[in-house]
């Protein structure tokens, strides 16, 4: 394995992404080839990793992926000099009930791969006490490798000296100290960061991050801290079968949330992916044998989608004879209508009867296990694991349920998905969760 590091923090909002992007940019400038990963189910951060590193970033998810899949993802990428994995939430945070490998924490991935943790700490409002937090994270699990800390939001040189004194006494190595006034922010919306391809001036932001991290972190020490361990024997993962040999994939600002490892698995299985843009009033390529509408932000583009008559008619022709599947935003677009945040209803494709609304925002967030009641394209009735994150409410879901869906605790959720068989033999399916992997257990 390539030696690596896990970039983590005690909590969300501490500066993980800024540190990750700055390191990827600064190390790339040095001529290093860095392979990025993202711990957990986030599908937005990998796009920023790609922009900063020039390499596709893949998710490593201990709840949704069995050990063999995690190992295959970690070892199956092209050669690199270094691995950097960005954690999610706090280092030890996950769900209450174990999934395929664990509870979904970044610590589980770091421990399994032997990637030492670089912990970024927000030290505003404290001094020597920060060492107690760092020491707790470094020693809570003796088998978890720990490289050191990067201090964030440091107020002054005096503040920095006081914190370093505490870290020295606690035996914690300081790998960087980031002054408060230099913090870098990325634009956000309700699901987190604005997507990389939508972020204006992204290269300038990455350049700034690279300069900032290179100026205030010990890059040589960080590179030297990277490590790995011998991986355990594990069965090969269950195949992530493509939904067709030629897959028409909606791909634009309204439909962009699809896990990179899913597309990679389809390509490795020999499938050809044929992108098209609903927002440009395009329909699926007629040579395709399946159409897939990923998640995204259809609510932000609902008036424009409603006016795309060419897209609508092409989708109806396609769905008459071939399978069509939508995930989350794609599922909403397959429905009859979508009510926006202002309470205005917009006509959607009408291939399913689903009606959704953003007029009263309600967060739906969490891991999902689905046991299909009807076949999904390429996957049949294989049990699946995925993740759901949106703010839409269901007004009507009249079609037959697609699956029995439960959360990470095994409790049933109302977002069962839908399916409908068309008169010409086509089959339309949709789910609110994003597929991560077939369930091994």
How would DSSP label each residue in 216-252?
Answer: HB-HHHHHHH-B--PPPP-PPPPP---S-SEEEEE-B
Contact status, residue 62 vs residue 102, Cβ threshold 8 Å: yes
Taking residue 214's Cβ as centre, other Cβ atoms within 10 Å add up to: 17
Per-residue pLDDT tens, the chain, 441 aa: give them. Answer: 899 999 999 999 899 999 999 999 999 999 999 999 999 999 889 999 999 999 999 999 999 999 999 999 999 999 999 999 999 999 999 999 999 999 999 999 999 999 999 999 999 999 999 999 999 999 999 999 999 999 999 999 999 999 999 999 999 999 999 999 766 666 665 555 567 666 668 889 999 999 999 999 999 999 999 999 999 999 999 999 999 999 999 999 999 899 999 999 999 999 999 999 999 999 999 999 999 999 999 999 999 999 999 999 999 999 999 999 999 999 999 999 999 999 999 999 999 999 999 998 889 999 999 999 999 999 999 999 999 999 999 999 999 999 999 999 999 999 999 999 999 999 999 999 999 999 987
CA 95 to chain centre: 16
Asked whether the beta carbons of 290 and 247 are under 8 A apart, the reply is yes
Q: Which of 290, 291, 308, 328 is catalytic?
A: 328
What's 108-144 look like in SS3?
HHHHHHCCCEEEEEECCCCCCCHHHHHHHHHHCCCCC
What interhelical angle do 16-29 and 202-216 show, nearest 10?
90
Helices (H), 180-339: 202-216, 219-225, 260-268, 302-306, 309-319, 329-334
**Strands 192-193, 188-189: pairing kind:** antiparallel
Q: Is 328 a catalytic residue?
A: yes
CA 413 to chain centre: 21
pLDDT at 185: 67
Task: Name residue 214's beta-bridge partners.
Answer: none
Structural domains in the chain plus CATH codes: 4-225 (3.40.50.300), 246-438 (3.40.50.880)
CA separation for the pair 325, 119 (Å, rounded): 40
> 88 near 15, Cβ under 8 Å?
no
pLDDT of residue 346: 98
3-class SS of residue 347:
strand
Place of tokens 């290179």: 214
Position 119 scores a pLDDT of 98
Task: Measure the CA–CA gap between 265 and 244, rounded to whole angstroms.
Answer: 12
Element (H, E) at 25: helix 16-29
Q: Are 333 and 279 in contact (CB under 8 A)?
A: no
Closest CA to 406 of 415, 398, 397: 415
Tell me the CA distances in angstroms from 98 to 10, 65, 111, 338, one per residue in order: 21, 11, 16, 35
Q: Can you tell me whether residue 266 is helix, strand or coil?
A: helix
CA distance 260 to 40: 13
The secondary structure element, H or E, covering residue 273 is strand 272-276
Secondary structure of the chain: what % helix, strand, coil (to 5)? 30, 25, 45
Instruction: Please say whether the beta carbons of 201 and 119 come within 8 A.
Output: no
Burial of 180 per CB tally in 10 Å (0-12, 13-18, 19+): middle
Q: Would you state the pLDDT for residue 359?
A: 94
DSSP state of 414: S
CB-based burial of residue 221 (10 Å sphere; 0-12 exposed, 13-18 middle, 19+ buried)? Answer: middle
Please name every residue paired with 412 in a beta bridge, in sequence order, or none if there are none. 406
CA–CA gap between residue 34 and residue 57 (Å, rounded): 10
Q: How much is the CA Rg of the chain, to the nearest whole Å?
A: 23
Instruction: Please give the Cα distance from 381 to 375 (Å, whole number).
Output: 5
Q: What angle do CA 378, 42, 260 make, to 5 degrees?
A: 45
- From the list 288, 396, 381, 306, the residue with the least C-alpha distance to 347 is 306
State whether residue 256 is helix, strand or coil: coil
The residue assigned the tokens 């720990």 is 146
């Amino acid at each position: 394995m390539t030696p690596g590091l896990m970039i983590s923090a005690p909590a969300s909002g501490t500066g993980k992404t800024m540190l990750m992007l700055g390191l990827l940019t600064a190390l790339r400038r040095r001529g290093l080839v860095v392979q990025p990963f993202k711990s957990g189910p986030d599908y937005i951060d990998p796009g920023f990793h790609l922009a900063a590193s020039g390499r596709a970033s893949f998710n490593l998810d201990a709840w949704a992926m069995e050990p063999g899949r995690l190992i295959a993802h970690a070892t199956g990428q092209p050669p690199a000099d270094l691995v950097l994995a960005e954690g999610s939430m706090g280092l030890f945070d996950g769900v209450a009930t174990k999934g395929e490998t664990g509870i979904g924490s970044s610590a589980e991935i770091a421990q399994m791969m032997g990637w030492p943790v670089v912990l970024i700490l927000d030290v505003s409002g404290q001094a020597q006490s920060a060492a107690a937090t760092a020491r707790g994270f470094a020693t809570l699990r003796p088998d978890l490798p720990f490289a050191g800390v990067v201090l964030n939001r440091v107020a002054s040189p005096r503040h920095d000296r006081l914190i370093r004194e505490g870290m020295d006494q606690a035996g914690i190595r300081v790998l960087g100290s980031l002054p408060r006034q230099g913090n870098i922010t990325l634009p956000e919306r309700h699901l987190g960061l604005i997507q990389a391809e939508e972020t204006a001036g992204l290269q300038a932001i990455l350049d700034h991050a690279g300069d900032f991290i290179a100026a205030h972190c010990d890059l040589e020490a960080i590179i030297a801290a990277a490590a790995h361990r011998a991986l355990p024997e594990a069965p090969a993962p269950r195949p992530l079968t493509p939904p067709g040999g030629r897959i028409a994939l909606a791909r634009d600002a309204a439909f962009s949330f699809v896990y990179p490892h899913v597309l990679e698995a389809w390509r490795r299985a020999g499938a050809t992916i044929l992108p098209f843009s609903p927002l440009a009033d395009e329909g699926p390529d007629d040579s395709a044998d399946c159409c897939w509408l990923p998640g995204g932000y259809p609510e932000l583009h609902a008036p424009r989608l409603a006016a795309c008559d060419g897209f609508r008619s092409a989708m109806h022709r396609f769905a008459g004879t071939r399978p069509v599947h939508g995930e989350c935003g794609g599922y909403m677009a397959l429905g009859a209508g979508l009510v926006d945040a202002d309470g205005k209803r917009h006509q959607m494709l009408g291939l399913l009867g689903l009606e959704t609304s953003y007029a009263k925002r309600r967060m739906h967030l969490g891991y999902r296990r689905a046991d299909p009641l009807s076949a999904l394209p390429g996957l049949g009735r294989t049990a699946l694991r995925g993740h759901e994150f949106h703010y839409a409410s269901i007004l009507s879901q009249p079609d037959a349920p697609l699956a029995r869906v439960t959360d990470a605790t095994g409790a049933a959720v109302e977002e069962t998905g839908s399916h409908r068989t068309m008169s010409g033999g086509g089959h339309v399916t949709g789910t609110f969760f994003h597929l991560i992997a077939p369930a091994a257990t």
